[in-house]
Structure 1
């Protein structure tokens, strides 16, 4: 079974080599590697070209992460598609573990699989499942309620996902009108399509604070507003709207709207507005702390593979 590894990049000549080494070192050997250079002005293309026919290089003008990944998807041939950013890395067993799990769980309707990631910052290292409060009872298996869980929280996604091409074709590729939060939009659509496989072991290394990110400079206000718009678009969709858990959707959109207002007020020059913004943020933090303690709050529901 062929797996396509798609790597979008922009001015990452210093890091793209180690990223490619991690992909080429995968124990799963039926692998095609596609790098989409999104308008780099440094030596990124030359570094990639040095790998010869082991890596396919596609160059395009700078158009953002969604377009770059979609370019890679359209050029790829694998039955399963995975993504990796050009300053991060996979552990050697990542692809094999995910393919094997998806094969074992195909009878449950699993067409998408995510693994944990080690997120490395200057001052600490944490796991992405912990950040998203995902605490499965078994090391790997079938995640039966991803849509309910992702409605309330973000999951580190692009670098850890493996998805069948057939599912991508049904749900659609990355939205090219989004410069930020395109991974959350993709994750939500995939989560509404059925159960996922999961691996609780970190099989990806993510480097925090990298320069030349394809979506760098995202403010909290931007993230709140974009997430609200993504959920609103899904709600209005004839394909996805009926599948959304309505009570969770309304709660999440309400919180996002209030949080966006709080961030906007906090950034204004008038002292009264800043004070109101801070007060609203404190209220939201208290509300969220209570919400996460409620027995009705969605938790990760799993079954063995």
Structure 2
């Protein structure tokens, strides 16, 4: 029987050597056998996390080929993944964050979906995600954003990211056609999926969850200035393609962004900025009641955040 093609699993790691074993063990436990592991160490050259990661890799045992690549200085997740892509020998590429884990059939089922998809000109396959707390308890499944093909997938993706990076599975040659990850403050996987769709590729999906994603702050929303600026930058990218999705989708994208900014600024106690974005959300909501309900939820989250 002909051997199935090599799949490269790219694992960027930064300041989490203690979590890396769980991630790599989950790759070793895959039912799909022809896998290479590429660990991209994005720690700074002389810090303790680099030393600890080196020691871990020296001792780690696997029957799979493993590449260990070290950045001299921290470059961030997007560029670390790009390093992995450039060094990958596999026909297919998938990703895993260093603190998350695959379920055993993740690679095999995504490979089968890819080669048996009804869609031609396929850009990628994505899957569902489980959210876990820091103690390993299941919290919930990621909100469903299923869409396949191109036009419908683009509309859904404009409103909400189809998949985190660890859910993606694609041929390496797709990167030759659309380019690598862009070094954005946030959402580099969102922008890559968007670019794949804009280039006319189709996407497909596995409905079942195949990745456990761990939230070490119990999933609390990140509200740093860097994150807020990153979301604004991402929104400006989306604006370029409003003409492709129609007025209804444009309105939904704007509404979601404005409400998200309201929440982030409220969590920072920046009431003036929060009010500005809340007013913008009201202008996108014909009946206003939806915004009032969502705003009430934001206030509840803000109150709860003081007690956790």
Shorter-chain TM-score tier: 0.7 to 0.9
Q: CA RMSD in A?
A: 3.5
Q: CA deviation at 1:27?
A: 1.0
Corresponding residue pairs, total = 271
Match of 1:12 among 16, 26, 29: 16
Q: Tell whether 2:26 aligns with 1:51.
A: no
Please give the TM-score of this superposition, normalised by the length of structure 2.
0.75
User: How do 1:183-194 and structure 2 match up within 5 A?
Assistant: 183-192=189-198, 193-194=200-201
Q: What TM-score do the two structures reach when normalised by structure 1?
A: 0.75
Task: Quote the Cα distance in structure 2 between the aligned partners of 1:264 and 1:92.
Answer: 36
Instruction: Give the match for residue 296 of structure 2.
Output: none
Residues 14-163 of structure 1 aligned to structure 2 (within 5 Å) = 14-40=18-44, 41=47, 42=49, 43-51=52-60, 54-60=65-71, 61-105=73-117, 108-121=120-133, 125-128=139-142, 131=143, 133-134=144-145, 142-144=148-150, 145-163=152-170
Deviation at 1:185, TM superposition (A): 0.6
Using the TM superposition, name which of 78-87 and 182-191 deviates more. 182-191
**Contact 2:223/2:265 (CA < 8 Å) preserved in 1?**
no
Bigger relative contact order, structure 1 or 2, given CA contacts below 8 A and separation 6+?
1
The 1-side partners of 2:162 and 2:94 are apart by 16
Give the C-alpha shift of residue 259 in structure 1. 4.5
Alpha-carbon displacement from aligned partner over 1:204-254 (angstroms, at most 9, x marks no partner): 00001269xxx995766334312213224x54xxxxx98x32536643564
- Report the secondary structure of 1:55's partner residue: strand
- Cα deviation, 1:159-210, whole Å, max 9, x if unaligned, reads 010011121211111002x131111111211233322121111110000126
Structure 1 runs (4+) greater than 4 angstroms displaced: 215-220, 256-271, 284-291
1:91–1:203 Cα contact (<8 Å) kept: yes
Structure 1: tracts of 5 or more residues without a match: 137-141, 236-240, 292-305
